[in-house]
Amino acid sequence: MRPSSMEWVSEALLIGLRPHGETSAVIEVMTPDYGRHLGLVKGARSRRLQPVLQAGNSLLVTWRARLETHLGLFSVELSEARAARLMESAAGVFGVQIVAGHLRLLAEREAHPGLYRAAITLLDHLDGFLQSAALVARFELMLLDELGFGLDLTRCAATGRTDDLRFVSPKSARAVCGDAGAPYADRLLSLPAFLLPEADDTPDAADVAAALKLTGFFLDRHVAGPRAIDLPSARAQMLGKLEGERRGR
């Protein structure tokens, strides 16, 4: 059971920062047990803390407040510096921006430990562009599930079959097998095999682009659209780069 005191200590992933006054900043972090959480860091714009407070870095944070509903103060220590490495590649730049943008879709102070761990794993494995984009698509599937809009990719909605799943119905968010879906292929969303449970397929650029279109469709319908917001712009840039690679083959 999480403590009810007005102080706690946790590992955290930094996902955002905005200046506050001349020397301070309000930071936004994702934690395993306290969810997405904001707090004020005094002296955040100092030479010592500027390199620490970069999106994508892992921190050890201590949060204190007089009342639980207050913004509160954070004291921070760097536990893993990955921001500089992420900025060295397009995959890293897009990846950290997409992850941060998606985590902001979560309600404040609502624990999502599995999603927190998935975000850390993703950021630690942004090695190649294609692999990174595939990880983003899988992360988005998990995000949809955490938000209550998960896709059912276990069996065909029309026949009950568990093999040859090639499409997803945009209405039911359920998988459809090849035979049942073929006559309606223009109305269905493509389901790349690498997204299926326990799949070990190695996707190409076309597969990953299709995966991002699939997850993007449901994120826009259920999450971004109703809130009148856009999905992270880095996501469109990643998809555009994939489409360019696919056309260039």
Given this model, what pLDDT does residue 102 score?
97
Confidence of residue 3 (pLDDT cuts 50, 70, 90): very low
Model confidence pLDDT, tens digit, residues 175-232: 999 999 999 999 999 999 999 987 877 899 999 999 999 999 999 999 999 999 999 9
70 to each of 16, 40, 48, 78, 210, how far by Cα in Å?
Answer: 19, 10, 26, 24, 43
Given this model, what pLDDT does residue 1 score?
41
Given this model, what pLDDT does residue 200 score?
76
Model confidence pLDDT, tens digit, residues 63-90: 999 988 899 999 999 999 999 999 999 9
Given this model, what pLDDT does residue 248 score?
65
Sheet of strand 189-190: strand arrangement: 175-177, 165-168, 189-190
